[in-house]
Structure 1
Amino acid sequence: MNLLKSIQRNITKQRVINSILKTEQHNNDVINIHRIDKNNVGDFYCAPHHYFDILKEKSLDIFDYKSENKAVREHFIEEISNRSLIIGGGGLLNRGGFTKQMKMFEKLNTKGKKIVLWGIGHNEKSPKTYGKIKEYNINIESFGLVGTRDFSMPGEYLPCVSCMHPIFDQNFDIQNEVGIVFHKDTLKKENITKKYKNFATSSNTTNLEDLIQFIGKSENIITDSYHTMYWAMLMNKKVIAIPNSSKFYDFKYQPTISTFDDALNHLNKGQIYDGLLEECRKENIKFAEKAFNYLNL
């Protein structure tokens, strides 16, 4: 039964993609496409439509193309065919779950579609690729304007736009020497969560306000969540990152890399990067001006 569902899902996805590629393309206004997952606070807040008034209420989930709801799939086809596109942010490159969509966007450029890649990056799961990614699974030169969050990779360097959130302007009093923030998948791994049962913990499934408050009250952050790593660095925390993907290895300013078994041995060794929040905001404001000019917004 599961195999039949998988086959049917693949057929559905390909039909949607074929329909878009066969449809006449237009650039009326814009839609911001990313992974809209309210159970993953990083995925949810990593897109520019949250931070620029001209993009408000203009968003689309990159996974809608495989929805079981026909109306959702048809809406996906209509929005992509009629709008200019802002893709990102998030780890949408070198990741199987996003390959079909990203390849489709690459082809749409040849049909006159205006496309901006905003703060996306590689997200390869195999540990043998960590720190070794040299190329993306798409040709970024096929797109009109490109900003990638991977510092050493092709494209203009552009850190995640979530830095624009005003929540980072708050100040907090330190209450915990160590704060552990688990990725939602790690919450299912009892051997890891039990190891840290005596520490203050949170996860990337919580709401943004609670997570930022938790980070703010901690001196050291241990995490396997990319955006928790990023946000903690924006907040001048000492960060120990536990990689679960290649994305942890190509930020401009590197955290301390460790494992859940060894992370406590790295406490207070992480480097604090003063001025990082202001730098990241400046890069996104500069990119936004170019993107909005290119898209005629």
Structure 2
Amino acid sequence: MSGPHGPYQPSGQSFEWNRPPVPQKRWTKPRLFAVGAVGVLIFAIIGSCIDSPSDNKTPGAATVSDTSTTSPPPPGAADGYTFDELDTKQILVGTVESISFSEVSVGFEVDEDDTAKTSMDFELALIGAAKCYAMSEPLGKAVVEALPVGSHVTVVRTAEKASSTELGDEAFIHLAAPGNMATDTAFGPSVNEQLVAQGSASLMPGFDRAPDAPALSVQIETVRASVPVQSEPYVDPIAAADIKAWDERVGLAGVCRASWEKIAREAEESQRRIYGPDGIPDTDDDPNNNYNVPGYVPGTGGGSGGGGGGFCRSRFC
């Protein structure tokens, strides 16, 4: 399977909806000729045949009533999905029915009869508020705006966990190409990635951006190694969107970065206050206080200085 921006090669078939043209009634009037009753009768029979829409069909075309509309049929398999297919197919095509925070309910046609429908609930895979609390509440609104009810979508499902082959309730959801119906070939970036790119969500479980944290490339590799195989093609694009939104302070990612920088700045100031200007213990610039007195144990008064004059190198003294 190629990346999320390229075509997928799912099992099953792609679906194209081709409505046959609605037959138009044509009314004819027999010309007036100086002929006998037999000629008039022949013209009447011909007019009757032309007037009948049932004889004006394209061979093999579906019947379209005069009351039909031009709205497209719902997406999905030509005759609807079987319930077994809904359980086992990785890629499904349906219509957004409702949103509950980051849970998306998608409706599907089923082949039980002409009007049978069912719905399934999916969580957006690989994204969330992560370590950015500012995203927690607004994320639900962002999902609603990104996936309006009634949208035709391609749902790319992923397994419950890396070690499982059973498809779970997490998915990457793609909107249909503008002006087109969704198909089982996913179009464009997933909504998951788009939400991260606009700063409304983060790659889960979230990057550690502390100074002593592993490089982001190493963290991405760790995420890729921990996700189901169906999710692997989505890791790099979503990670890239996360990094770009953070670097450019896009949306709520910018709010989260400002908050993180404030916390980091306060921590550095605390380190300098405790361990001197360099913020490092056991150096020449350490201030002369109990945080930096060697051998001091709270409550004992011991240490190399003896008699209650001891020192403590721990910030928890």
Q: TM (normalized to structure 2)?
A: 0.23
Q: Which has the larger radius of gyration?
A: 2
Give the structure with the larger helix fraction.
1
> Structure 1 length as normaliser, TM-score?
0.24
Q: More relative contact order in 1 or in 2 (CA 8 Å, sep 6+)?
A: 1
